[in-house]
Amino acid sequence: MDISPVFFYLFAGSAIAFSVSVILKKNPVGSAFSLVMVFFSFAGLYALMDAHLIAAIQIFVYAGAIMVLFVFVIMLLNSDVPSLDMGRTSLLIRSLSGFFAVVMVGIFVWAFKESPLLGLPGEFTSEKIELAGGNTQVVSELMFSEYILPFELTSVLLLAGIVGAVAIAKRDKSLSGRT
Amino acid sequence: MQVEPWVVLGFCSSIFFIGFTGVLIRKNILIILMSIELMLNAVNLTFVAFSRQLHHMGGQMSVFFIITVAAAESAVGLGLVIAMFRTLRSVDTDDIRLLRE
């Protein structure tokens, strides 16, 4: 893969370091800010792989919208309890799941290294994308021609998400006396 | 010097399993939601890597739809967290035992 090795290892190293810090930090605010750094590293990796539109959307949607939602919810909940960290699982479960994760990563790396990349090469080589006006133009034209049906279904999904989030988070009058 | 494809894919799988471990070892439901986001991101990067390697745009299109699903999922998930906190006054997953009692 003809991408710059220096920038790849820089972004990949910071992504791994910060994602370990996401799952190990005691304070959820610290985890949230580590997650922001992971998202920025991923945006750098997308830009490195010539997926410029995805890199921009990663910043907008993940580092912007989703993280603001997370920090907002942490702020809402944090006013009532002194600390959100309610202890962790037992040492046995922790070490077993860590061991399992390392084994699975080993298996995946072995499989990726030993097997060839299958699949027929498509038509979108980097020269052809450059000739057609860049990554953003090609992706946009595809989204509104070949992938128009999934694109429209996405709007239905978002509508269901809006209605569901409001309905779930709304204060229910009939239940408020029970707790 | 080049970056081999298996290095990129191995990096994606390591991020995925870091998120997987986070789901298993943490009891704070906010951290569990963040770990789910980590796993979704790792899959997105795998799609982009294959898209570049095989010169096919289908991978990048899938990433857009996965990002949409992730946004909707975290909105509904955080709504559930707020509902859970209102009922139980806690974000600890061990406190969810209304059906066991």
Residue A33: closest CA among A12, A18, A13, A15:
A18
How many Cβ pairs closer than 8 A exist between chain A and B? Answer: 241
Mutate to test the interface with A, among B7, B16, B60 (most CBs of A within 10 A): B60
Res B12 pLDDT > 90: yes
Does any CB of chain B come closer than 8 Å to the CB of residue A68? no
Which residue in B21, B61, B87 is closest to A179 by CB distance? B87
Residues 4-43, chain A: which have Cβ within 8 Å of B?
Answer: 5, 8, 12, 15-16, 19-20, 22-23, 28, 31-32, 35, 38-39, 42
ipTM above 0.85, yes or no: yes
* Residue among A19, A93, A101 minimizing CB distance to B38: A19
pLDDT tens digits, residue range A86-112?
Answer: 455 678 888 898 999 999 999 999 998
Model confidence pLDDT, tens digit, residues A7-31? 999 999 999 999 999 988 888 888 9
Q: 């002194």: which residue's tokens? A: A82
